[in-house]
């Protein structure tokens, strides 16, 4: 079953002479438990694609289905709520709430929803990511790699349908990048979590189950799962 599916996704910025087609007729399917990497040069449209997949931006035309739900049929507020329940984000710049400690950051989306935290699950995630010793630290006390691990834990904590990672290792040195990515992959496998990751680093992309290539706003390879 496809956790993520798009229909002729197109995003055009500007009008007239300034018109830029960032994404054109992108068709993409991702299966449950898959770890996909979207690879492309800068300006190829990969970030636009990821933002559309996560419902952070609205397409000019086309649709995105997450868990079979047409996310752009939702109003902004409902979309935000859908996002915190079904989509986890990992950003290049970690993006933790500076006033909350590690644990609070991880359960932040769940708490926003007013739901009880599955302590056992969160504990397990934290242990896997090596965060169980630093539950009460504040983000500015952590290294970049640690911060990104917290961000990954946050993305996983609400058991989303899909985790979207936007250059998750972009701000890390290569050794830490390897560590973080291994952890992402391992935890993904363990919880059979679907992950879509953007990167421009071929070596990193090689760790994924599938590589989706994007050039000049078009998906040139790997849009469909390998059957």
Partner 1 sequence: MNKVNNRRVIRQLAFRELKNSRRMNVVVVLSIMLTCILFTALATVGGGLVNSVQQETMRQVGGSSMAGLKYVLPEDYEKVAADSAVRNVNYRIIVGQLVNGELRDFSAEVNCAGSPDAAKTMFSAPTTGRLPEAENEIAVSTIVLDAFALPHELGVVIPAVINVGDQDFSQDFILCGFWEGEKISPAQQCWVSRQFADKYAPTPSERYQQFETMDITGYWQVDFDYRNSWNIEGKTVALLQRLYGDSDEIPDVGVNWAFSTSTVDGESVASAAILLLLIFAAGYLIIFNIFHINISANIRSYGLLKTIGTTAKQIRRMVRTQALIYCAAGIPPGLICGILTGRLLTGPILETTNIHLSSSASVSGRLIVLIALFSAGFTLVTVLVSCRKPCRIAGSVSPIEALRYNETVIAPKAESKKTGRISERVLARNNMMRSKKKTVIVVLSLSLSLVLLNLLFTALRCFDMDSYISNLIVGDFVLTHEDNYNDANELFKVTEDDVAYLKSMDGTAEVDPVYFQWGTLSMDGEPKHRLEQFCEKYRGSAPDEVFEFAAKNEVDADIYGIPDPLLKKMEPEQGTIDLEKWKTGNYAIVWMHYVGAETEPGETDFYLPGDKLTVAALDGGTKEFEVLAVCAMPYPLSSQRYSYLGGHVIIPESEYFALTDNRNAMKVMVNAAENRYDDVERQLRVLTDNPGAHVILKSKQTYAEEYGAFLNMLRLVGGTLCGILALIGILNFVNAVVTSIISRKREFAMMHAVGMTGRQLRAMLSWEGVCYVLLTTVCALTVSALLSWFLLRRFAEEMFFFRYHFTLLPVLLGLPVLLIFSVVIPAAAYRIICRDSIVDRLRENG
- Contact call for residue 31 and partner 1 (CB under 8 A): no
- Contact call for residue 112 and partner 1 (CB under 8 A): yes
Tokens of 64: 């995105």
The span of 65-73, 134-142, 173-181, 188-196 binding partner 1 (CB under 8 A) equals 134-142
Residue closer to partner 1, measured from CB, 48 or 187:
48
- Contact call for residue 173 and partner 1 (CB under 8 A): no
With beta carbons less than 8 A apart as the criterion, state whether 177 and 188 touch: no
Residue closer to partner 1, measured from CB, 25 or 57:
57
Among 5, 31, 46, 85, binds partner 1 (CB under 8 A): 85
Among 20, 27, 97, 203, binds partner 1 (CB under 8 A): 97
DSSP string, 147-215: HHHHHHHHHHHT--SEEEEESTTTTS-HHHHHHHHHHHHHHHHHTT-EEEEEES-HHHHTTSSEEEEEE
With beta carbons less than 8 A apart as the criterion, state whether 126 and 153 touch: yes
DSSP string, 38-80: EE--TTSSHHHHHHHHTTSS--SEEEEEETTEEGGGS-HHHHH
Q: What span, in angstroms and rounded, lies between the C-alpha atoms of 61 and 25? A: 9
- Contact call for residue 89 and partner 1 (CB under 8 A): yes
Tokens of 219: 């998906």
Among 12, 100, 207, 211, binds partner 1 (CB under 8 A): 100
The span of 109-117, 119-127, 179-187, 198-206 binding partner 1 (CB under 8 A) equals 109-117
- Contact call for residue 46 and partner 1 (CB under 8 A): no
With beta carbons less than 8 A apart as the criterion, state whether 47 and 166 touch: yes
With beta carbons less than 8 A apart as the criterion, state whether 24 and 48 touch: no
Number of residues that bind partner 1 (CB under 8 A): 37
With beta carbons less than 8 A apart as the criterion, state whether 150 and 105 touch: yes
The span of 61-69, 75-83, 175-183, 199-207 binding partner 1 (CB under 8 A) equals 75-83
Shortest distance in whole angstroms from residue 82 CB to partner 1: 8
> Which stretches of the chain bind partner 1, using CB under 8 A?
51, 54, 56-57, 76-77, 80-81, 83-85, 88-89, 91-93, 95, 97-101, 103-104, 107-109, 111-113, 135-138, 140-141, 154
């Amino acid at each position: 079953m496809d956790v993520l599916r798009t229909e002729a996704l197109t995003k055009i910025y500007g009008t007239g002479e300034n018109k830029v087609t960032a994404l054109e007729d992108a068709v993409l399917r991702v299966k449950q438990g898959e770890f996909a990497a979207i690879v492309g040069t800068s300006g190829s449209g990969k970030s636009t694609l990821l933002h559309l997949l996560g419902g952070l931006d609205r397409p000019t035309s086309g649709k995105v289905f997450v868990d079979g739900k047409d996310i752009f049929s939702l109003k902004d507020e409902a979309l935000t709520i859908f996002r915190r329940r079904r989509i986890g984000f990992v950003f290049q710049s970690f993006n933790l709430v500076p006033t909350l400690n590690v644990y609070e950051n991880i359960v932040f989306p769940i708490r926003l929803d007013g739901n009880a935290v599955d302590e056992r699950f969160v504990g397990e995630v934290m242990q896997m990511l090596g965060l169980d010793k630093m539950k009460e630290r504040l983000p500015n006390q952590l290294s970049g790699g640690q911060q990104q691990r917290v961000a990954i834990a946050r993305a996983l904590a609400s058991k989303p349908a899909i985790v979207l990672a936007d250059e998750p290792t972009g701000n890390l040195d290569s050794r830490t990048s390897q560590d973080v990515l291994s952890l992402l992959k391992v935890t993904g496998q363990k919880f059979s979590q679907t992950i879509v990751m953007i990167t421009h680093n071929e070596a990193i992309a090689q760790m994924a189950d599938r590589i989706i290539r994007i050039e000049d706003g078009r998906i040139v390879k790997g849009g469909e799962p390998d059957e």
